Amino acid sequence: MLLQNATAVTPRMVALATAVPAHVLEQGAVAEAATTIFAGACGGFQHFAPVYDHADINRRHSCVPLEWFGLAHDFAERNGLFLDHAVALLAEAADAALVAAGLGPRDIDVLVTVSSTGMATPALDARVMNRLGFRPDVERLPIFGLGCAGGVLGLARAAAMARAAPGARVMLLAVELCSLTFRRDDRSVTNIIATALFGDGAAAAIVTCRDDRPGVVLGPWGEHTWPGTLDVMGWDMAADGFQVVFSREIPALVRDRLRPVVDDFLARHGIAWSGIAGFLCHPGGAKVLDALADCFVLDAAQLRHARATLRDHGNMSSVTVLFVLRAAMDAVARGRHLMTTLGPGFSAGMLLADLG
């Protein structure tokens, strides 16, 4: 049972660990395989081949080997693979975060779990509990459907729960296995583009107000959902699994609509743009990063962690921005950073993270 306390407190992230599956997909090999799989698609696959070169991605990690993508798979098989690999990756990331924080599974009071690339009932957190030995009275909050926004918004939910219960240690778990959503017989433009972008990964963070130790100070945070934009991003359900939905207008929406939302968010919390030391943006793709650079008037160096993450891991949906944060921490970045991401809804997530 968590002790509730209304006193104003400051949540801190005291550990962050990431994990990736074993298979490495080099972009050149993916493009070659796609040439065979999509031969004759959309009036000639050669029209889409440059997508792989222009994605600014060198490699990605996948829970399945490259040969898997050339075969047919039903939803039951895909989801079975999701359960096996998602739990294994979350356990790896959670264990690494606990070691980094000098804690054990029984020291965690709350689990917040984010994923949108597979279905799990019992939820992923219950399965990880059985794997690692968390206490049976740990509180669980599984979150599905935030998509790419889940990294920032999941971290915000974890911070809110830590602030509501200052004696608690909250663990955020995020995992996405985007590779399993690939559909060999889907000749749509969006599915073809997705093959050039998506990768797999997991992350675990520990957030608390109770430990007297250094950490990344979290907050304020916020979100915005634009009306009438349900068709911009998400999943449709097909007979063989998730069918990707994303609009070609996303970069334009970022350029035209995001800045006023972030301006309002910062103003509400009395924070000037001059007080932002760095930017940790979810790299949805190369064009989205270019749009973010235009939106926030950033030079190449200011998005270097996002671009490096995209280059080495691709778009891992909700997990990606946590990899970006990890990269900034490893580079010993300092000061208040603005984390942003975009997801189904169509929604923006924002969080200020002070790296010290």
Which CATH number does 216-354 carry? 3.40.47.10
Q: Does residue 6 surpass a pLDDT of 70?
A: no
Say whether 216-354 and 12-208 share the same fold: yes
C-alpha–C-alpha distance, residues 143 and 174, integer Å: 10
pLDDT of residue 1: 30
How buried is residue 3: exposed, middle or buried, by Cβ count under 10 Å (0-12/13-18/19+)?
exposed
Q: Does residue 252 surpass a pLDDT of 80?
A: yes
User: Are the C-beta atoms of 244 and 278 separated by less than 8 Å?
Assistant: no
C-alpha–C-alpha distance, residues 160 and 148, integer Å: 20
- Residues counted in the chain: 356
Q: Does residue 155 surpass a pLDDT of 50?
A: yes
pLDDT of residue 53: 79
Q: Which of 63, 148, 209, 281 is catalytic?
A: 148
Count the Cβ atoms, other than its own, within 10 Å of residue 305: 26
C-alpha–C-alpha distance, residues 330 and 338, integer Å: 17
C-alpha–C-alpha distance, residues 73 and 181, integer Å: 10
Q: Does residue 2 surpass a pLDDT of 50?
A: no
pLDDT of residue 86: 98
Q: Does residue 348 surpass a pLDDT of 60?
A: yes
Instruction: Please state the domain extents for the chain.
Output: 12-208, 216-354
Alpha helices in 141-225, H assignment, sequence order: 150-164, 189-195
pLDDT of residue 41: 53
C-alpha–C-alpha distance, residues 308 and 211, integer Å: 32
Q: What DSSP designation does 181 have?
A: G
Q: What is the overall mean pLDDT for the chain?
A: 91
pLDDT of residue 321: 97
154 φ/ψ angles, rounded to the nearest 5 degrees: -65, -45
Cα angle 281, 286, 288 (rounded to 5 degrees) comes to 55
pLDDT of residue 49: 72
Residues 172-207 have pLDDT tens digits of 999 999 999 988 887 777 878 888 889 999 999 999
Sequence-separated (6 or more) residues with CB below 8 Å from residue 55? 27, 196, 197, 285, 286, 314
Residues 274-318 have pLDDT tens digits of 999 999 999 988 999 999 999 999 998 899 999 999 999 999 999
pTM of the model: 0.93
Clarify whether 148 is annotated catalytic: yes
Q: Which fold has domain 12-208?
A: Peroxisomal Thiolase; Chain A, domain 1 (3.40.47)
Q: Helix-strand-coil percent breakdown of the chain, rounded to 5?
A: 45, 25, 30
Q: First vs last Cα of the chain: how many Å apart?
A: 32
Residue 338: what residue type?
A: L
C-alpha–C-alpha distance, residues 50 and 45, integer Å: 10
What percentage of residues in the chain have a pLDDT greater than 70? Answer: 95
pLDDT of residue 233: 84
pLDDT of residue 243: 79
Residues 240-251 have pLDDT tens digits of 888 788 888 888
22 φ/ψ angles, rounded to the nearest 5 degrees: -75, -35
pLDDT of residue 9: 85
The string of DSSP codes covering 250-317 is HHHHIIIIIHHHHHHHHHHTT--GGG--EEEE----HHHHHHHHHHHT--GGGGHHHHHHHHHH-B-G
> What does the pLDDT average to over 197-226?
94
pLDDT of residue 118: 95
Q: Does residue 263 surpass a pLDDT of 80?
A: yes
Residue with more model confidence, 175 or 214: 175
> What does the pLDDT average to over 23-39?
87
